[in-house]
Amino acid sequence: MIQMKSVLLLIFALISATIANAQTAGTVTFKVTTITAGGQYAPSNIVAIWVTNSAGTFQKSLKVMAAVRKQYLYQWKTATPAQNVVGAITGSTITSHQTHTVSWNCQNSSGTLVPDGDYKIWVEFTEKDGQGPYTSYTFNKGIIGDTLSFSNSANFSNIEISYIPNSSGIEDPAQEASIFRFAGNEAIGFGIPSQKAENAMLQIFDLSGKFVYESVDYFDDGAKRYFLWNHASQNNGVFIYRIESGAEQYCGKFYL
């Protein structure tokens, strides 16, 4: 029992380090259509789209269409008092409302890949010399891709966020096995190099730490040795795997 507790502590220490330090490269695409608020210059408008983290800290401007009237984009100016437009699409006042499609490479304005976690995409426009409509939409950046659609509002419609992580984009200090899936089959493979698989054992846990599966039986295709887990009886969610092979440890998380 003491040994098993030690194993679980090791697993969750590794996973905690992974979660805390993970910086998944990827691409976010944001789409929104603006709708007039009946301002004095309508339908002409100025607009800003930018990204903050969950705490509201500015990360990067994605699009700023304004010239001499930038001072009326109050929310954007609060987020970035320096009016940072590094890497953003820029231009002058727009003469009509339209659909804006922008992308974000998950880097801040300094070109540094940002940590995984929740982020907000903000959009603000105004058709007058004053505050106009603004809102934000939250998504999670991590190892799992997603496409989110949001409800229309009075001034914003057709809102969508698509996040696609790079398959090789996780900067992670933990040693990981290769994970592969079989089309039309409810099995997942966990592969490690053949020369490191002697006396190997696979264990799988859910995020609460509950033991789910264990196996010492592996397959060998000549290039790698791999374990198979049939997950047909499991609900979707995030799971943790651990493979021990002598002095080698492989640990990571995956999603069903």
Over residues 100-158, the pLDDT tens digits come to 999 999 999 999 999 988 999 999 999 999 999 999 999 999 877 788 999 999 999 99
CB 148 within 8 A of CB 137: yes
- Of 81 and 18, more confident: 81
Q: What is the mean pLDDT of residues 179-208?
A: 74
pLDDT at site 168: 46
Element (H, E) at 3: helix 2-21
Res. 172: pLDDT tops 50: no
* Nearest alpha carbon to residue 106 among 148, 145, 136, 55: 145
| Residue at a domain's end among 139, 169, 199 | 169
pLDDT at site 195: 56
Residues 49 and 119 in one domain: yes
- Of 96 and 191, more confident: 96
Residues 36 and 163 in one domain: yes
Number of domains into which the chain is organized: 2
Which 3 state secondary structure label does DSSP give 2? helix
C-beta neighbour count of 57 within 10 angstroms:
11
CB 40 within 8 A of CB 88: no
**pLDDT tens for residues 37-81?**
999 999 999 999 999 999 999 999 999 999 889 999 999 999 999
Residues 82 and 36 in one domain: yes
| Residue at a domain's end among 135, 169, 203 | 169
Question: Edge-to-edge strands of the sheet including 89-91?
Answer: 89-91, 58-65, 46-53, 117-126, 134-141
Residues 156 and 224 in one domain: no
Element (H, E) at 12: helix 2-21
Res. 15: pLDDT tops 70: no
**pLDDT tens for residues 197-243?**
567 788 888 776 778 888 888 887 777 778 888 888 888 888 888 88
CA 32 to chain centroid: 19
Residues 137 and 43 in one domain: yes
Residues 234 and 129 in one domain: no
Res. 12: pLDDT tops 60: no
CA quadruple 142, 147, 151, 157: dihedral sign: positive
pLDDT at site 221: 76
Residue 234 has φ and ψ, to the nearest 5°, of: -100, 145
DSSP 195: G
Residues 48 and 125 in one domain: yes
* Nearest alpha carbon to residue 78 among 59, 64, 53, 58: 58
CA-to-CA separations, 104 to 30, 107, 119, 144, in angstroms, rounded: 8, 7, 11, 16
pLDDT at site 123: 99
Residues 38 and 80 in one domain: yes
CB 27 within 8 A of CB 146: no
Give the pTM: 0.62
Which 3 state secondary structure label does DSSP give 41? coil
Residues 100 and 186 in one domain: no
| Residue at a domain's end among 148, 169, 190 | 169
Residues 96 and 37 in one domain: yes
Give the CATH number, domain containing residue 209: 2.60.40
Res. 30: pLDDT tops 90: yes
Residues 100 and 146 in one domain: yes
Owning domain of residue 236: 2-21+172-255
CA-to-CA separations, 7 to 115, 150, 190, in angstroms, rounded: 27, 42, 19
- Of 251 and 87, more confident: 87
Res. 160: pLDDT tops 70: yes
Residues 36 and 145 in one domain: yes
- Of 114 and 16, more confident: 114
pLDDT at site 39: 97
- Of 18 and 191, more confident: 191
Distance, in Å, from the CA atom of 120 to the CA atom of 78, rounded to the nearest integer, reads 15
CB 38 within 8 A of CB 155: no
